[in-house]
Structure 1
Amino acid sequence: MQQLFLTDPLSRLRPAKDSSVALMQAASDAGSQVWWAEPRRLQAVDGDVTVLAQPLELTPMHHDPQGWRVPDPWYGQGAVEQRSLTGFQVVWMRRDPPVDDAYVFAAGLLAQAERRGVRVVNRPASLLIWNEKLSALQFPRLMAPTIVSGDCAGLLAFIHQHRDVVLKPLEGRGGQGVVRASSAMAGLQALLELVTAQQRLPVLAQAFLPDVTAGDKRILLVNGEPVGAINRRPQQGEFRSNLAVGGTPEACGLSARDHAICRALAEPLRRAGLAFVGIDVIGPWLSEINVTSPTGLREVEWLGGVPAADLVMERV
Structure 2
Amino acid sequence: MKLLFVADPLEQFKIYKDTTFAMMREAARRGHDLAACEPRQLRWERGGRVSAQVRDIALTGNERDWFVVRGTRDAALADFDAVLMRKDPPFDSEYFYATHLLEQAEREGGRVFNRPRALRDHPEKLAIMEFPEFIGPTLITREAQDIRRFHEEHQDIILKPLDGMGGTGIFRVGPNGMNLGSIIETLNQGGNQSVMVQKFLPQIAEGDKRVLIIGGKPVPFCLARIPQGNEVRGNLAAGGLGVARPLSARDQEIGEALGPILQQRGLLLAGVDVIGECITEINVTSPTCFQEIQQQTGCDVATLFVDALEQELKKLKTLLRL
TM-score range, shorter chain: over 0.9
Give the superposition deviation at 1:105: 1.4
Q: Is 1:209 matched up with 2:201? A: yes
Normalised to the residue count of structure 1, the TM-score between the two structures is 0.94
- Out of 234-243 and 43-52, give the one that drifted further: 43-52
- How far did residue 205 of structure 1 move? 0.5
The CA distance in 1 between the partners of 2:31 and 2:11, in whole Å, is 25
1:121 aligns with 2:122: no
2:275 is aligned with 1:282: yes
Unaligned residue ranges in structure 2 (runs of 5+): 310-322
- Alignment of 1:110 with 2:102, yes or no, is yes
2:167 and 2:238 in contact (8 A); partners too: yes
What's the counterpart of residue 6 of structure 1? 6
Within 2, Cα distance between the matches of 1:197 and 1:222?
Answer: 37
Question: In structure 2, what is the equivalent of residue 20 of structure 1?
Answer: 20
Closer, same or farther: CA 180–242 of 1 in aligned 2, 3 Å: same
- Indicate if the aligned counterparts of 2:134 and 2:278 stay in contact, CA closer than 8 A: yes
1:304 matched to 2:297: yes
Asked if 1:163 is matched to 2:155, the reply is: yes
Give the distance between the partners of 2:50 and 2:106, measured in 1 at CA: 10
Correspondence 1:178 to 2:195 = no
Provide the residue aligned with 1:66 in structure 2. none
Aligned length: 307
Q: Is the 8 A contact 1:99 1:128 kept in 2?
A: no
> What fraction of aligned residue pairs are identical, expressed as a percent?
38
Q: Deviations over 1:222-265 (max 9, x none)?
A: 12211242111110211100101111111200111111111221
**How far is 1:98 from its partner?**
1.2
Structure 1 CA distance, aligned partners of 2:243 and 2:260? 28
Instruction: Tell me the TM-score normalized by structure 2.
Output: 0.93
- Whether the aligned pair in 1 keeps the contact of 2:225 and 2:242 (CA below 8 Å) is yes
- Whole-Å Cα distance in 1 between the matches of residues 178 and 287 of structure 2? 36
Q: Kindly state the Cα deviation for residue 47 of structure 1 after the two structures are TM-superposed.
A: 4.2
- 1:237 maps to 230
- The 2-side partners of 1:299 and 1:108 are apart by 32
Choose from 180, 186, 190 the match for 2:182. 190
Partner of 2:316: none
**Structure 1 residue 72: Cα displacement:** 1.7
1:87 aligns with 2:79: yes
Q: In 1, Cα distance between the equivalents of 2:137 and 2:93? A: 31
Letter in 1 for 2:11: S
Match of 1:54 in 2: 55
* 2:65 maps to 1:73: yes
Q: CA RMSD in A?
A: 1.2
Offset, 1:36 = 0.5
Instruction: Kindly indicate whether the alpha-carbon contact (under 8 Å) linking 1:6 and 1:36 is maintained by their aligned counterparts in 2.
Output: yes
Moved more, 21-30 or 39-48: 39-48
Say whether the 8 Å CA contact 1:39–1:95 is kept in structure 2.
Answer: yes
Structure 2 counterpart of 1:36, one-letter code: A
| Structure 1 SS opposite 2:44 | strand
Q: After TM superposition, what 4+ stretches of structure 1 lie above 3 angstroms from structure 2?
A: none
CA deviation vs aligned residue, 1:190-239 (integer Å, no higher than 9, x gap):
22122101111111000000000011111111122112421111102111
Q: Which residue of 2 aligns with 1:221?
A: 213
Give the secondary structure class of the aligned counterpart of 2:51.
strand
CA contact (8 A) 2:214 2:305 kept: yes
